[in-house]
Amino acid sequence: MPPRSTLARAATFASAAIVLSTLGASSPAVGLEPEARPTPTCDPAAPDASARTMAGRPRGLDHETLTASDVRRIEEGFDRALERRGSRADRLPSAIRVPVRVNVVDGNRYRGPSKAQINGQLRTLNRGFSGRQSDESEPTNVSFFLKSFNRVKNQRWLTAGLNGKGRPDADSKEMRSRLRRGGPAALNMYFTKIGDGLLGYSSFPWTAAGNLSQDGITIHSESLKGGSFDGYNRGDTAVHEVGHWLGLYHTFQDGCSPDNDYVDDTPAEQDPAFGCPVGADTCRAREGDDPIHNFMDYSYDTCMYMFTALQSARMDEAWQAYRAP
């Protein structure tokens, strides 16, 4: 079996699309209608990153902390999973249609997003993954459609979050166990007012088989377009978290190490970017400025607008290894 990096660089995918069994022929992905592509900018009017709103951790602590040894074990398992599922380049998907099961959590005095707002969030998600946020972005093979919409009132679940190790707390575990639907290919999204000022958190695809009840992503409702989080209210938190759900690490994973995020075309980055620090270079011994415009960094929504070709290839491989029906 060729190494995954070879497969990714080849970028030659089959013409046969993976279409989920739950998808009918008349179920288009939300938000793929023609739309003008805005010029990406770093919004000078956005608040100073040094302010560090949302309890000082914008877009932070969104999954379990992973050490370099953790990641090496994950990558070894990734290789084995691909070998079992068939990892030849001509078997990788050319189209991945993801059914999205949305759960909106209301509280005693808080009502979460409407179905219309959720459809708007899915449009943002589809624009991000189709490469239509920027000419610099690589189109991916992934699109999303709304499979189900559920609204529930539960004050404890409204502020469910993570513990100090980046693992779901008891309320989060209960919420997901009660509400989650579908198999590994179904993206379950929970829209809440996450406690501790967090924007969102996600599971990874390699944890789905052993812990399916906890698979999915939780998004702070105020990160949707027009929400109250200045700098982080254009819907890109969901794009970032779905990137994790499809197998991407942060661009700053393992810092300036040779493997860092296991994607060769994202420049190495020692620390996450806050705001939009154009020209930052935290790994001067490595080629390229920090990838502050990448969806897998921590930049403002106005600053992050792209995936790379090899990030797209890695998501295809992770789908094949862990989520494909």
Contact 86, 79 (CB under 8 A): no
pLDDT at 88: 54
Question: What value does the mean pLDDT take over residues 8-36?
Answer: 30
Nearest to 162 by CA among 171, 149, 153: 171
- pLDDT value at 138 more than 90: yes
Question: What value does the mean pLDDT take over residues 273-301?
Answer: 94
Considering only residues 48 and 195, tell me which one the structure prediction assigns the higher pLDDT: 195
Q: Which two tokens stand for residue 133?
A: 């946020």
Poorest-pLDDT segment among 53-67, 103-117, 262-276, 304-318: 53-67
Query: Taking the CA of residue 189 as centre, how many other CA atoms within 13 Å lie in the half-sphere pointing to its CB?
Result: 33
pLDDT at 89: 52
Task: Tell me the pLDDT band of 163, cut-offs 50, 70 and 90.
Answer: confident
Contact 293, 131 (CB under 8 A): no
Q: Which residues of 272-293 are buried (b: 16+ CB within 10 A; e: fewer)?
A: bbbbbbeebbbbeebeebbbbb
User: What is the dihedral sign for C-alpha 73, 240, 161, 50?
Assistant: positive
The DSSP output letter for 322 is: I
Which residues have a Cβ under 8 Å from the Cβ of 167 and sit 6 or more positions away?
Answer: 64
Contact 4, 264 (CB under 8 A): no
* pLDDT one-digit tens code per residue, 289-307: 999 999 999 999 999 999 9
* pLDDT one-digit tens code per residue, 216-272: 999 999 999 999 999 999 999 999 999 999 999 999 999 999 999 999 999 999 999
- pLDDT value at 7 more than 90: no
pLDDT at 316: 95
Q: Which two tokens stand for residue 53?
A: 């709103």
pLDDT at 29: 33
What residues does each domain of the chain span?
Answer: 57-70+93-323
Question: What value does the mean pLDDT take over residues 11-29?
Answer: 28
CATH T-level topology, domain 57-70+93-323: Collagenase (Catalytic Domain) (3.40.390)
The DSSP output letter for 87 is: -
Read off the pTM: 0.83
Contact 224, 117 (CB under 8 A): yes
Average pLDDT across the chain, whole number: 83
Please give the single-letter amino acid code of residue 157.
W
Q: Which two tokens stand for residue 135?
A: 């000419």
Which residues have a Cβ under 8 Å from the Cβ of 299 and sit 6 or more positions away?
Answer: 42, 273, 274, 275, 276, 292, 293
The DSSP output letter for 323 is: I
What CA–CA distance (Å, rounded) separates 169 from 134?
Answer: 36
Instruction: Please give the full DSSP string across 126-192, using - where no structure is assigned.
Output: HHHHTTTT-TTSPP-SEEEEEEEEEEEE-HHHHT--B-TTS-B-HHHHHHHHHH--S-TTSEEEEEE
Given the residues 222, 241, 269, 317, select the one marked as catalytic.
Answer: 241
Q: Is 76 a catalytic residue?
A: no
Q: Which two tokens stand for residue 313?
A: 């290839």
